Amino acid sequence: MEATRAEPAWGVDSEYGRLLDVLLCAPDHFHWLPASAIARATLDRGLVFSPDDARSQHAEMVAIYEEAGVRVHLLEPDPALPYQVFARDSSINVPGGPIVTQCAQWWRRGEYAPVIRFYQERGVPIKEMVTAGSFEGGDFMIVDPGVAAIGTGEERTQEKAARQVAGWLEAEGWEVRVERIPAHFLHIDVLAAILGEKLAAVCVEQVGTGFVRWLEEKGVEIVPVTLEAALRLGVNGVCLGGDRVLSSAESMDLNARLRALGLTVYDPELSAFTLGGGGAHCLMQAIRRERVAP
């Protein structure tokens, strides 16, 4: 009789191992705020936020995760935290489990509380908590097991906090590159995303040539995304594992390029969120993946 394979511990060692468990937050209290250049442009255009669209689009995304065999976990929505729906930012995950972060804007600062409660109530040991300054999960990108990039634009993730997290990981043998990004992009996942093993979407017009060269030296194939597309969250995808990517209908250029490479792309409409400054990657935190390191 074949033995049942034990599931890995909580945490992740890559952004491309098969996604097993994902952390989301229902958009019960979400509405647009001038949280970024993208959101400010939306508000300046006089567009009207639709709670019904946000609920239906989020539900479609949840259904895709479930149909892909991913267990969906939900944070408890707090009415004081309208941008809590972007579950990427309140924690990050590494092989040893979650690191609780510290969001920068006043309307996000309290997001540490529900994410701590979530992990504690499920018996998931918290590895560390950021204390040196603001640090948001959208600025953390695992390139390969033991190799990570941390974006810092100071508006959201401050360099002191980036160096604190880098120091914890480097003490465990990681290679960590702290990458300065233009402040108005807020997070590195607006400019770059790991979408498969040795595969990344990158807005090469805006990241430094040194960063692109660093990725290429790691053997990463670059799928270029234009600045215009990046400003519509056109980089912001999620690898589900097994050559499957969750993107959004708004990321048409990226989706076409990925399909041309033979990947399966799920692209629900997420305009209620992309107009508010966050895409598919911003809406999730991977809390368990199949390990890819030996």
Output the CA–CA distances (angstroms, integers) from residue 229 to 77, 107, 243, 251, 281, in the order listed. Answer: 30, 27, 22, 7, 15
Q: How many domains does the chain have?
A: 1
Please tell me the predicted confidence (pLDDT) of residue 293. Answer: 83
pLDDT tens-place string over residues 207-259: 989 999 999 999 999 999 999 999 888 999 999 999 999 999 999 999 999 99
pLDDT reading at 1 higher than 80: no
Burial class (CB in 10 A: 0-12, 13-18, 19+), 257: middle
Q: Tell whether 205 is covered by a domain.
A: no
DSSP state of 97: E
Q: Give the domain range for residue 182.
A: 19-187+270-289
Please tell me the predicted confidence (pLDDT) of residue 47. Answer: 95
Q: Name, in order, each residue with C-beta under 8 angstroms of 145's C-beta and a sequence gap of 6 or more.
A: 13, 14, 95, 291, 292, 293
Q: Tell whether 121 is covered by a domain.
A: yes
Q: Tell whether 229 is covered by a domain.
A: no
Closest by alpha carbon to 279, among 240, 208, 231? Answer: 231
Please tell me the predicted confidence (pLDDT) of residue 5. Answer: 61
Q: Tell whether 223 is covered by a domain.
A: no
Q: Tell whether 27 is covered by a domain.
A: yes
Q: How confident is the model at residue 94 (pLDDT cuts 50, 70, 90)?
A: very high
Please tell me the predicted confidence (pLDDT) of residue 55. Answer: 98
Please tell me the predicted confidence (pLDDT) of residue 110. Answer: 97
Please tell me the predicted confidence (pLDDT) of residue 17. Answer: 97
pLDDT tens-place string over residues 122-174: 999 999 999 999 999 999 999 999 999 999 998 899 999 999 999 999 999 99
Q: Tell whether 166 is covered by a domain.
A: yes
Closest by alpha carbon to 94, among 207, 213, 176, 186? Answer: 176
Cβ atoms of 152 and 174 within 8 Å: the answer is no
In the chain, the percentage of residues whose pLDDT exceeds 90 is: 89
Please tell me the predicted confidence (pLDDT) of residue 2. Answer: 44
pLDDT tens-place string over residues 35-88: 888 899 999 999 999 999 999 999 999 999 999 999 999 999 999 999 999 999
- Average of per-residue pLDDT across 106-110: 95
DSSP state of 83: T
Q: Tell whether 55 is covered by a domain.
A: yes
Torsion of CA 120, 121, 122, 128, to 10 degrees: -10
Torsion of CA 101, 66, 242, 226, to 10 degrees: -60
CATH number of the domain to which 160 belongs: 3.75.10.10
Cα 219 from Cα 147, distance rounded (Å): 12
End-to-end, the C-alpha distance of the chain in Å comes to: 25
Q: Tell whether 235 is covered by a domain.
A: no
